[in-house]
Chain A
Amino acid sequence: MFAYYFDLGLRSLRRNPALTALMVMAIGFGVAASMITYSVFRAVSGNPIPDKSARLYIPQIDGWGPQQNSKGEPADALNYIDAMALMRAHRATRQTFLYGVSMSVLPEGSQSLPVAANGYAVYGDFFPMFEVPFLYGRSWGAAEDDSRAAVVVLSEEFNQKLFGGANSVGREITLDGHDYRVVGVARHWDPKPRFFALFNGSGFQDPTDFYLPFTRAMDVQVNPSGNSCRGHMNFAGWNDWLQSNCVWVTPWVELDSASDVSAYRRFLEDYAADQQRAGRFAWAPNVRLRDVAQWLDYQQVVPAESRISLIVALGFFAICLINTIGLLLAKFLRRAGEIGVRRALGASRREIYAQYLIEAATVGLAGGVFGLLLTAVGICGVSLLFNPEIARLAHLDLSLVGLTLTVAVFATMAAAFYPAWRAAQVQPAWQLKAN
């Protein structure tokens, strides 16, 4: 019976072409608008490290105080003094401190002009903590951190650019005039959003080029690509700046159990209390310990544009569906006479109901296909709405195609519940009499 009803549905699409076209277009536009905005929302709101996001924590310590901080929240990064105190205390299974750098690169033996490259100064724990996969070589360890070694890990893309994709382990590159030995090349790894380095970045920047040891970066005084200071700045030069309240270090710790988390939180509070007693902080301890999901939420990584446009698109879809209910009602009841004949010939209400639901499903399918075309076109135009680094994340994949068609069909069937019920209520006797 399903095939027969489906066939009837397809036939009736042709019966009132104007009405059908109206419905197909309404569903198509509605579903396309929802899918385009959803594809962007999905891209920006995903969990960048699903299997570990609940074990990675970012400690925050208020080094600015209630006068200078923003709405009572500690700064988004640590100053150097607090970061080094946490580093030395080493109260977590793994820990890394990092900051973004922008440096010039001269490839080994190259005569070409230097190029700009973006990277992070990190501790060796960074790589196992964030599960960075390796293509060649390995990461560096605590020994290299301690010996302040001039080593570097390249990204697969940057290795392609500098060495044509060859195994470059053991070769040298020049960053800002200093030589570094390549110890490893990371396989493509670019979590979106880049949860671990949201300070001074949107989370959707260009892929990282390299990673170098934090300790080495301190030795050669590599500037962070951003820092934020408060109050009267009376420092001069690098060492003064390190001792200032300027924040620029992002700390991450790996904590395996709930008891570790509460122990670490207590440690942070004790540390801040010690600083207060020592007179460095003139305020009560104000610390935070957020995991990846809480951090992304707090940093409002999902752009407001993305949420608002998704909401508007869903509202738009709702209106299109209400429109479809009205048009389906008109379409079905126009055929009251036909329904009367079928009922008189023995069809049950249930069968009429099924027939019209399936007919609605065919309308929905047609709307879905049309919506799919519009979605494909629309995704190309996403760059108009979002900045390029976010727009390029939106793409039409198999799951989005499936979702588009499913949503179109099911939404149309939901819209058809009432019209189909009305159709099933048609009184055969009354219809036959009128004829």
Chain B
Amino acid sequence: MTMHPILAALRKHKAGVVLISLQIALTLAIVCNAVFIIGQRVERVNRPTGLDENDLFLVTQQWVGAPSGDDPAGVEKLDVMQREDLAALRNLPDVASVAPSNSVPLLNSSWTGSLSLKPGAQLGSKGGTRTAYYFTDEQALTTLGLHLVTGRAFNAGDVQHQGARDQRDRPVVIVTKALADKLFPQGNAVGKVIYSDGSTAPSTIIGVVERLQIPSTGSWGNAFTWYSTLVPTRLDSSYARYVVRAKPGRRDAAMRAVPAALYAVNPMRVLDDDESVKSFADIRASAYRADVGMAILMGVVCLILLCVTAAGIVGLTSFWVGQRHRQIGVRRALGARKVDILHYFQIENLLIAGAGVVLGVLLAVGLNTWLMTHYEMTRIPLPYVMTGVLAMLVLGQLAVFVPARRASNVPPVTATRAV
């Protein structure tokens, strides 16, 4: 079949052709970018924190009338209170292990600083890097479920304590593999010395863990998402956080038992019903709520958009079929087979959709560029665009099939009737 009659016919329906190809172009632009956003968000949400997240929960509490922690006596008093709490939690029947910690991944409450290979170096100096600290104790690795790659874990002798506003030397630390590789590209970080926050006191790396995300999920933390440092120090203030690993499958029972156990130690404290004892699953859900929501919204928009576009093609093609009823009859009477008529409409759609996707690719890249300049977005990869192009062409063919088949069923005798 030659293209000429199809092109000639299209010239008679300029408005409809322009409308369908414009719609296909815009749909392609939006769907490509939306699917790309979904892909990015899903990837972000699915990245592992490095923790064994099952059976894990976090207790956040605040003592009432506790010492301020700004004098040595107050710090000692607070430390006693914290150790009492830890002992009470560790004694619970459903609890496997407990570690104090100033934060956990995805909690968005962080203590960040800088590490350097030289003493007294400021942030931003060469060879240094940003990091987020986890202040915890010797049960940290088992409680968090971290995987030690080399070196050793903290032991009870490593653990110190300090007031939350005090500064203390950090003789030993454990860092993540990503951080170790950044500081010591030639490997073998264990035993090496680093300096934290511009201090002149050395810290020795005693162990390297496979992976541990920083608490922040915000964009400001993107540059050091995997650069965490574990410090064997209990922070003493009127606030305390305890990370608790329940025995397998006993998380909910352990969570229910926590308030009573802590109140039994000391009732003068604030424990909110829903905020103070939070499962890690809930922490994860609230950290990624916006990402999941965005993915769902984009998914729904794409789905409806594809349906609307397909319906639009069906509607307009049906109209053309109705308009050309008589011409189709004439063609059939002159010897065209049913399949010729079917192909005519399919090729016509392919031409229109083809023009649409060419424009659509330009629009998709344009929209992506605009998003890149205004929001944190990366360049859309070619496979996304190519898949989108293919999807739009297939969608067009599927949508055109029903009206085209109806057209192919127009009997030749129509040619002899007046309308």
Contacts and interface: CB of A to CB of B under 8 A. Distances in A.
B16 A326 contact: yes
Given A316-B304, A387-B286, 8 more contacts: A113-B271, A230-B123, A231-B197, A237-B163, A240-B165, A316-B301, A318-B26, A330-B319
B298 A326 contact: no
B331 interface: no
Contacts of B375: 304, 307-308
A231 B125 CA distance: 12
Contact of A232 (B26, B198, B374): B198
A7 B29 CA distance: 39
Interface string A199-240: 000000000000000000000010100000011111111101
Q: Which 9 A-B pairs have the closest CB atoms?
A: A385-B293, A232-B198, A330-B319, A177-B65, A323-B312, A237-B70, A326-B19, A104-B64, A116-B270
Contacts of B374: 307
Contact of B123 (A25, A67, A305, A333): A67
A385 B297 contact: yes
A286 interface: no
Contacts of A104: 62, 64, 269-270
16 contacts: A25-B311, A26-B312, A68-B124, A230-B123, A232-B197, A237-B71, A238-B68, A308-B371, A309-B297, A312-B34, A326-B316, A327-B312, A330-B315, A330-B318, A333-B319, A385-B290
Contacts of B376: 304
Nearest to B124: A67
A29 B77 CA distance: 62
B65 A319 contact: no
A177 B64 contact: yes
Contacts of B127: none
Contact of B165 (A26, A235, A387): A235
A386 interface: yes
Contacts of B165: 235-238, 240-241
Contacts of A326: 16, 19-20, 23, 312, 315-316
B167 A236 contact: yes
Interface of B: 15-16, 19-20, 22-23, 26-27, 29-30, 34, 37, 62, 64-65, 68, 70-71, 120, 122-124, 163, 165-167, 197-199, 237-238, 263, 267-272, 286, 289-290, 292-294, 296-298, 301, 304-305, 308-309, 311-312, 315-316, 318-319, 322-323, 371, 374-376, 419
B27 A319 contact: yes
A313 B30 CA distance: 10
B122 A309 contact: no
A329 interface: yes
Contacts of A235: 165, 167
Contacts of A116: 62, 270, 272
Residue among B71, B198, B304, B376 having the largest count of chain A Cβ atoms under 10 Å: B304
Contacts of A114: 64, 268-270
A223 B70 CA distance: 11
Interface in A1-49: 19, 22, 25-26, 29, 33
A330 B321 CA distance: 11
Interface in A48-104: 67-68, 102, 104
Contact of A29 (B65, B124, B199, B304): B304
Nearest to B165: A241
Contacts of A330: 16, 315-316, 318-319
Given A106-B64, A114-B269, A333-B319, A384 B296 contact: yes
Contacts of B319: 329-330, 333-334
A313 B23 CA distance: 15
A115 interface: yes
Interface of A: 19, 22, 25-26, 29, 33, 67-68, 102, 104, 106, 113-116, 176-177, 221, 223, 230-238, 240-241, 303-305, 307-309, 312-313, 315-316, 318-320, 322-323, 325-327, 329-330, 333-334, 384-387, 418, 422, 434-435
Contacts of B270: 104, 113-116
Nearest to A29: B304
A318 B27 CA distance: 10
Contacts of B269: 104, 114
Contact of B290 (A22, A320, A386): A386
Contacts of B305: 316, 319
A55 B236 CA distance: 43
Nearest to B166: A236
A425 B194 CA distance: 82
Given A320-B308, A422-B15, A221 B70 contact: yes
A303 B298 CA distance: 16
A316 B37 CA distance: 16
Contact of B308 (A115, A241, A319): A319
Contacts of B298: 312
A28 to B, nearest CB: 10
Nearest to B220: A70
Given A221-B68, A233-B167, A305-B293, A319 B26 contact: yes
A30 to B, nearest CB: 8
A329 B266 CA distance: 76
A86 to B, nearest CB: 24
Nearest to A115: B270
A315 B297 CA distance: 14
A233 B268 CA distance: 32
A420 to B, nearest CB: 13
A77 to B, nearest CB: 16
Nearest to B322: A334
Contacts of A320: 308
Contacts of A386: 289-290, 293
A198 to B, nearest CB: 14
A114 B267 CA distance: 9
Nearest to A384: B293
A109 to B, nearest CB: 16
B400 to A, nearest CB: 14
Contacts of B309: 319, 323
